[in-house]
Amino acid sequence: MNASLRPALLLVIATAALLASASTTHAQDAPAGNGSTSSAQPLSARPTVEDRLGDKDARFFAHATGTWLIRNDFYDSPGYGLDAGYYFNERWGAELRVLRLHSTLSRAGKTVLQQSGLAPDLRAPDVWLSAGVRTSVGYAKILLWDRFVTRFDPQLVAHAGVLFAEERIAPSVGLGPGVLVHLKWDLQVKFDLLLTANFERRQRGITPAFGVLPTLSFGWSPPRGGQR
Amino acid sequence: MALYRLHILLLTLGAALGAGSCSFVDFETSPYAPRALQAVYSEHDDLTYLVWRIADVADPELLTYELWEDGELQPIDLSDAPMPSEPFACDRLYLCLQYQVSGFWSPPGNGTALRATHKRFGPIPSAPVRPQQITASFEIAPVATANNRFADAGLFDVLSAINLPHRRTFEWVLVDTQPGEDDAPCASPPAEGWQRLSDRVELPQSWTDNPPCMAVRPRRSDQPARHIVARLEPGPVLHVAELDHSIEAIRHPTHIAFLVDLQVTNAGRCQQIVDAVRQTILSEFAEEQKPVRELGVYYPRDRQGQPTSGCDQATSIDYPINDILAEGRNAMADEVERSALTLVVINNLQLTATPEKLAQLQAFNAATELPDAPYSFAWLVGSEASYPGITWSWNTPWQALESRDFEPPLRAAVRYIFPLTSTPPLENYELELPVPPGSRTPQYLKLCQLLPLPTTYIAGRREYPVNAHQLEWPTGELPRLRYALTTTEFAYYNDFYGGSIEVVYEVCDAFCDNAFQGRNGLTYGSWLNAPNACQWGAP
């Protein structure tokens, strides 16, 4: 090979490698063709390990949710609720969430109240209404305990809404990671871990209360019309 | 090994959650905590009134209560209280709740007297109780109102007076007096016939023939409460009259004479000026629909006593004032009121008038003092500098006939001055007071509002100062008020204020010495002996 051609050849190879790597970043954008990677495919087609089992593009979903709001506020606040949403594409989705919290004073809070009549200046949270967005940052398949093949989307979630706490209404936001696990028959399991902030007007004014809202959801995403 | 790792994982997760949770919690008194528990024992009622508060943001439906009774905390139902009440707003930021215990209730020496239990948060103790003891929880002082058609029990709630926010209703009944003395004790009230007490209760007709007693008691749900009874005396029978009397104005007839003393070479121009002044003034009278009578146009006289043209001052010596006065006197004979003789002198120069003219004008002004003479009003259209020493009633500076300022001052003067107006003599002005509507047998009178203040109250032949203690109503005639006011004479029309007299008085027909309640809500022991207080209004 002519030495003068070597730099040009290296440039072509480098460009091809760059294009190939770029195509892998769009691996979740569309289902693959017939499966295995082939050197005969054009460079613009992304390499696909296997067909995506759980796709989300243009699909609704509804999940039943269990949760526990943790704020270190002397309340125990377990709850349940419902998420309902829609994925515009494989990456972006929006959802509405209603959580009913059954808050009671914690053991320490009860002791203080019974002995002194004092109570936290936060009110017991009752209902959380919010709307949010959900973005899938990837799609993965792992083998658990050498037995269970699990496909999931790591996600980022952001919510904003209001928290009803007895007679008060507090603007609230939540932000955090989540995992959406795809099961058979379009069933889904979802786990979110949101860092929350509630802005409740207390006697001393509006003071934020930061907390964590883990939610575990189970639900179904009906297939698009005509599919399956 | 796997279990160990799971444990580490859970601990790490818990630490992460804990680190992310921070609510900046302060502790404050729970909105549901019973606060400021008060206990007041009333000996008369033999009842202990309990009142406590919760924050107004709290939902009282979520609470149940236990009260210290018989040595332990026992559940209580607020609706089963002798005087139950829904929670009510009190002390600005709280809801007040109340309960009553029969007999004397004493709190525990060391422990919780009242405990609330929240459906979600559990038991909450009350703050320490503040016990208190009173003789009776209410008092009454009944008084008849509205000419004995209604009564006000004069209820005084002692619980309110000691700042115990407590809600209860009362009921009342009339009780016969024992026959005999006026101050005989009242009979026992009946078991039936009690009615809900309001601020004003209607009384039966003719009750004043045999004044009864009034019994009042709180309304209890479990048993009749103990009552308090007091005699109900008839109140004074009062009728009010409000007079708004305007003092009449005397409008004096206006008689006007024009005296021409010009210096204008052109005779036509001279006549034009005279006509313009005369017609402007007379037309303004007509437009304002003010009556005026013109006596004529007069001219100065020369050395021979003959009238001049009025357009050449060099030939004029004096004015025909005597003729004008005589004409004015004749004209006044046709009038009922004294007329105002207005002399309009028209002079376009600033040359000093002759001594004869000045003397004539002084004679005109002085004539107003003569008996049966009209009031002299001298109006100069010209410069006062021409007539040193003469006092003019009104002066309109000379303006050229073509000037836009020629007419307006003349017309404004007519509007402002005429007709001259007076009041009748007011130094001993008397105003008759009619019998107020509804009054049949007036006995006494009370002056409630006077503007201006009269000097004397006249009842027949007797005269009283208006601040006398008791003012009797005369028999056979109406009383009068005498005023010492300032008489106004010949005031300019727009300056005249004849004034008005306002009198509000009330007349008593019966029971004049008895107690009454003013409209300000205060009760006075005797109408007759409360000189500064009327039932009509606040003193």
Give per-residue pLDDT as tens, B211-247. 889 999 999 999 999 999 999 999 999 999 999 999 8
d(CA A67, CA A79): 5
pLDDT at A35: 38
Cβ contact B493:B252 at 8 Å: no
Q: Is the peptide bond before B179 cis (omega within 30 degrees of 0)?
A: no
pLDDT band, very low/low/confident/very high, at B538 (cuts 50, 70, 90): very low
Question: How close does chain B come to A79, measured CA to CA in Å?
Answer: 15
Residue A51 lies in a domain: no
Mutate: best of B5, B6, B21, partner A, most A CBs <10 A: B21
* pLDDT attached to residue A38: 40
Residue pair A166/A135 in contact by the 8 Å Cβ criterion: no
Average pLDDT over residues B80-89: 95
CB contact under 8 A, A112 and B20: no
Residue B267 to residues A108, B110, B270, B311, B400, Cα–Cα distance (Å): 120, 121, 5, 7, 16
Contacts of B211 (CB under 8 A, 6+ apart): B177, B231, B232, B233, B234
Q: Which pLDDT score is estimated for B7? A: 66
CB contact under 8 A, A118 and B27: yes
B221 burial level (CB within 10 Å; 0-12, 13-18, 19+)? exposed
Using an 8 Å Cβ cutoff, are B143 and B515 in contact? yes
Whether residue A226 lies inside any domain: the answer is no
How far, in Å, CA of A103 to CA of A76, rounded? 5
Asked if the model's pLDDT at residue B533 lies above 90, the reply is no
Which chain A residues touch B24 with a CB distance below 8 Å?
207-209
Domains of chain B and any CATH numbers: 35-134 (2.60.40), 138-234 (no CATH), 250-422 (3.40.50), 424-524 (no CATH)
B24 close to A (CB below 8 A):
yes
DSSP SS3 for B527: coil
Is 70 exceeded by the pLDDT of residue B266?
yes
Q: What is the pLDDT of residues B124-162, one digit of tens each?
A: 998 888 789 999 999 999 999 889 999 999 999 999 999
pLDDT, one tens digit per residue, over B30-81 is 999 999 999 999 999 999 999 999 999 999 999 999 999 988 999 999 999 9
Which residue range is the domain that position A143 belongs to? 59-220
**Nearest Cα to Cα of residue B229 among B175, B285, B290, B303:** B175
In this structure, how many other beta carbons lie within 10 angstroms of the beta carbon of residue A75?
24
Q: Strands, E, within B105-249: which ranges?
A: 114-118, 122-125, 130-134, 138-139, 143-145, 150-152, 156-157, 170-175, 195-196, 201-202, 213-218, 228-231, 237-246
In percent, how much of chain A has pLDDT > 90? 54
Compute the count of residue pairs across chains A and B with CB atoms less than 8 Å apart: 97
- Residue B93: list chain A partners with CB under 8 A: none
Task: Check A72 against B21: CB less than 8 A apart.
Answer: yes
Per-residue pLDDT tens digits for A57-91: 889 999 999 999 999 889 999 999 999 999 998 89
CB atoms inside a 10 Å sphere around CB A205: 7
Q: Side chain identity at B11, as an amino acid letter?
A: L
Contact between residue B44 and residue B136 where contact means Cβ atoms under 8 Å apart:
yes
Residue A184 belongs to some domain of the structure: yes
Query: Residue A149's domain is classified under what CATH number?
Result: 2.40.160.20
Decide: B334 and B309 in contact? Cβ < 8 Å. no
Q: Does position B171 have pLDDT exceeding 80, yes or no? A: yes
Judge whether residue A18 has pLDDT over 60. Answer: no
pLDDT (mean) for B91-118: 92
- How distant is the Cα of B106 from the closest Cα of chain A, in angstroms? 22
Rounded to an integer, the average pLDDT of B445-457 is 93
User: Which stretch of A130-144, A214-228, B296-310, B356-370 has the lowest confidence by average pLDDT?
Assistant: A214-228
Question: Collapsing DSSP states into helix, strand and coil, what is residue A91?
Answer: coil
Say yes or no to pLDDT of A217 above 60. yes
Residue type, position B453, single letter: L
pLDDT at B11: 65
What strand order describes the sheet that includes B213-218? B195-196, B170-175, B213-218, B228-231
Q: Cβ contact (<8 Å) for A70 and B122?
A: no
Q: Is B308 exposed, middle or buried (0-12, 13-18, 19+ CB in 10 A)?
A: middle
Q: Is B21–A120 a contact, with Cβ atoms under 8 angstroms apart? A: no
Residues of B in contact with A176 (CB under 8 A): none
Are the beta carbons of A112 and B27 separated by less than 8 Å? yes
A68 by Cβ neighbours in 10 Å (0-12 / 13-18 / 19+) ranks as middle
Is the CB of residue B479 less than 8 Å from the CB of residue B473?
A: yes
Number of domains observed in the structure of chain A: 1
Mean local confidence (pLDDT), B393-414: 94
Q: In Å, how far is A104's CA from the nearest CA of chain B?
A: 6
Which residues are registered as beta bridge partners of B139?
Answer: B156
- Confidence band, pLDDT 50/70/90 cuts, at residue B5: low
Asked if the structure places residue A86 within a domain, the reply is: yes
Reading the block at residue B497, the tokens are 């204020």
Helix (H) or strand (E) holding A8: helix A6-24
| In a domain? residue A64 | yes
Give residue B181's pLDDT: 57
How would you class B306 by CB atoms within 10 Å of its CB: exposed for 0-12, middle for 13-18, buried for 19 or more? exposed
| Angle in degrees, CA B2, B7, B13, rounded to 5 | 125
Q: Three-state DSSP class for A77?
A: strand
pLDDT > 70 in chain B, percent? 95
- Do residues A114 and B123 touch, judged by C-beta distance below 8 A? yes
Residue A23 or B415, more confident: B415
B173-204 pLDDT, tens digit per residue, is 998 887 665 566 888 888 889 999 998 899 98
Average pLDDT over residues B440-469: 92
Sort out which chain B residues have CB atoms less than 8 A from A207's CB and list them: 24
Q: Which residues contact B388 (CB under 8 A, 6 or more apart)?
A: B352, B358
Query: What pLDDT is recorded for position B308?
Result: 93
Q: Can you give the pLDDT at residue B92?
A: 86
Contacts of B59 in chain A (CB under 8 A): 166-167
Residue A108 in any domain: the answer is yes
In the chain, the amino acid numbered B424 is P
Residue keyed to tokens 């809801």: B95
Whether the Cβ atoms of residue B48 and residue B132 lie closer than 8 Å to each other: no
Alpha carbon distance B9, B189 (integer Å): 83
How close A220 gets to chain B, by Cα (Å)? Answer: 28
- Which residue from A105, A203, A209 is facing B121, i.e. has the nearest CB? A105
Least confident of A32-46, A111-125, B24-38, B429-443: A32-46
What was the pLDDT predicted at A41?
Answer: 46
The number of beta carbons lying within 10 Å of the beta carbon of residue B464 is: 15
How many other CB atoms are there within 10 angstroms of residue B115's CB atom? 20
Calculate the average pLDDT of chain B: 90
> In terms of Cα–Cα distance, which of B56, B57, B142 is closest to B94?
B56
Task: Report yes or no on A25 lying in a domain.
Answer: no
Within a domain: residue A157? yes
Contact A209 B23 (CB under 8 A): yes
Chain B hits for A169, Cβ within 8 Å: none
Q: pLDDT digit string (tens) for A34-62?
A: 433 344 444 456 666 777 777 888 899 99
